[in-house]
Structure 1
């Protein structure tokens, strides 16, 4: 983390003081006489990592009747502009009842996987705040300045598959348990995410190798935003045959932390973070999102089916293990569900992908020598050919 960014990030609210931390630790440790002797705050994440929250790391030294102790805590508070949103209510609901229930089911079936960091305190009033164990103290780390390895992505998909399988069991047996989780992050309601299809369509028309796809996107452009909004709400309003899960809603590289063996350097585990966007929706939502938010260019081109099939294998294995009573999904039905959610992938290809590599498509042509543009054109060729093979352009 750059030193010149520390002052910009560290804006500790007045209520977050020694007395507040003392009260939290007294309750958590069940030590009414606990006394904090030292408290230091530093930024808990890098600038730009969090969209709706402020993350602060608190290093605490304290004394109880049992002796002297120290620990590091991660404190998550809401940005003022999001104070009226449901984000913290959703995440607290996940940590209060859903994630502990998922953990219970895994334990009962001899699965020791951890899906979340321990939350030692949460509150909506008078301040929206959550306090977690510091995963950094357990050798978990964010992946920065590089892409995820194959092993790390498989680890992330394994955790997501288990999360999805557990929610499928709950939805099948006790749907009211997750009824409150209905307000996901609708990407097309974010202005920059709803305005990319036109420039992308015109860009295709300027690239000879891609021009034949332009007419498809002229048709897609007309109704795909409305279709995406409808699909996000369909579980509540118009359920369809398919696989509904509790989606994570924001499954990208910055929302996982990975752990490697100290001696060998080999991948050991990953931990899911940030359950603020959870909602019941088709499982393909998280997977479409992850294709563009977890995978890199080479993985999207060369390993996509391998990685998604790995996710699916863990999903089926976990459903069997935890005693899922519904019909197990099979591979054809899984890929049919991905096809049904194709509008979501149209959104990511047309809007997020060029933005993520810093491209403006409004004037770009293949006569330019910019490496980013040429790489984007080559990736479009591969992705659009896959869309065609998968029947994405049929019955538009």
Structure 2
């Protein structure tokens, strides 16, 4: 399937093994002839394969197309990544079929990200925030087509831990994305109008069993581990209304947004598999990172992405020893970029950032209990993400993985020291 002898069909999502009928020579010819402005373009060879490995994504279906074609300029080849919504009946389609994620992402690639890059270029910053989208459509089906980052030397990190240099670069890119969005909100607010759909605007996702059982399994863990048992009473006291508290916080933010400098266009799903990394082929020296999957982008406090990243991006040792340093790095790049691009509004302060970060303790508890064990489960290559979401016993087991237990024993005392368990 992938051209790699070490892979098999079990390494890929089942709905990405065979391309749908509409994904054919005629469609690819239309896309490429429009993109290259070559009406005479003729596709002479076309091969589809899954675009990525199982566990890399879930909110869409993705194929890689290897295309051979001719134009007046001669013969050429191109590798494309094709992203579409689930068509096969099943859990993925039920959970995501009516969500606005494609509208959001098309708007990001078509309007918002180009404007952000224009602002950076005007200030002399050549960082690339996104891969080029050469085609998009909502009807008759939702589909986006991108240049293939693998062909440019980018890879998803799966077989090792991401290192500090790579993570710093990730936070730099996020800071520049956030900074550009602050300037746009201040000067061109209509561009970002409508970017309001986050996790708590997706009722079908919130009804998923994994959302409801995370805290139950977390309490079982606290009871089982003697050194964690002292925290059980607190979490039992918030178990019944934690999700409602988060929903209420989100509703309050939407209905009564604060006119302050800490609201940004958040990525919304800032985890390791939503980015690809590039290293020099000859030396292995790290060069760049590309952020992916802008389906969940929404206007919200910058702490949304930062808190999410603690649990969904950082490696365990980085969570233990480096998270404050890394967020300070993010903030320094944010302020530096705001100054560079000529932002005229009130500047955020580091003290203000930390205040807001620690006020969001319910988000920490939710991610720690419900999302982090899933990330630990995905470190196991055999884990099927769809099965993980749907199988209660697999999810329960993920809450008792040795690495996750160690993570919790480090994080809870830290949050206790910061006052997270006071009833205020």
TM-score range, shorter chain: over 0.9
Superposed displacement of residue 355, structure 1: 3.6
Between 222-231 and 19-28, the greater mean CA deviation after superposition: 222-231
1:142 matched to 2:156? The reply is: yes
- The 5 A counterparts of 1:1-396 are 2-5=7-10, 8=14, 9-80=16-87, 81=93, 82-186=96-200, 188-240=206-258, 243-358=262-377, 372-373=401-402, 375-396=403-424
The answer for unaligned runs of 5 or more in structure 1 is none
Superposed displacement of residue 189, structure 1: 4.4
CA 349–7 in structure 1, closer or farther in 2 if over 3 Å, else same? closer
Give the TM-score of the pair, scaled to structure 1. Answer: 0.92
Residue 71 of structure 1 aligns to a residue in which SS? strand
1:296-325 per-position Cα deviation (integer Å, ceiling 9, x unaligned) = 111111111111111111111111111122
Superposed displacement of residue 163, structure 1: 0.8
Superposed displacement of residue 354, structure 1: 2.9
Between 38-47 and 213-222, the greater mean CA deviation after superposition: 213-222
Contact 2:373–2:398 (8 Å) recurs in 1: no
Contact 2:178–2:265 (8 Å) recurs in 1: yes
Distance 2:397 2:293 in 1: 37
1:243-288 per-position Cα deviation (integer Å, ceiling 9, x unaligned) = 1111111111111000001222111100011111111111111111
Query: Considering only aligned residues, what root-mean-square deviation do their CA atoms show, in Å?
Result: 2.2
Superposed displacement of residue 360, structure 1: 7.3
Residue 79 of structure 2 aligns to a residue in which SS? strand
Residue 196 of structure 1 aligns to a residue in which SS? helix
CA 364–86 in structure 1, closer or farther in 2 if over 3 Å, else same? closer
Contact 1:354–1:360 (8 Å) recurs in 2: no
Distance 1:326 1:303 in 2: 31
Distance 1:12 1:354 in 2: 32
Distance 1:266 1:230 in 2: 46
Distance 1:27 1:69 in 2: 16
How many residue pairs were aligned?
A: 390
Between 122-131 and 335-344, the greater mean CA deviation after superposition: 335-344
1:323-343 per-position Cα deviation (integer Å, ceiling 9, x unaligned) = 122221111111111112221
The answer for unaligned runs of 5 or more in structure 2 is 88-92, 378-392
Distance 1:69 1:173 in 2: 43
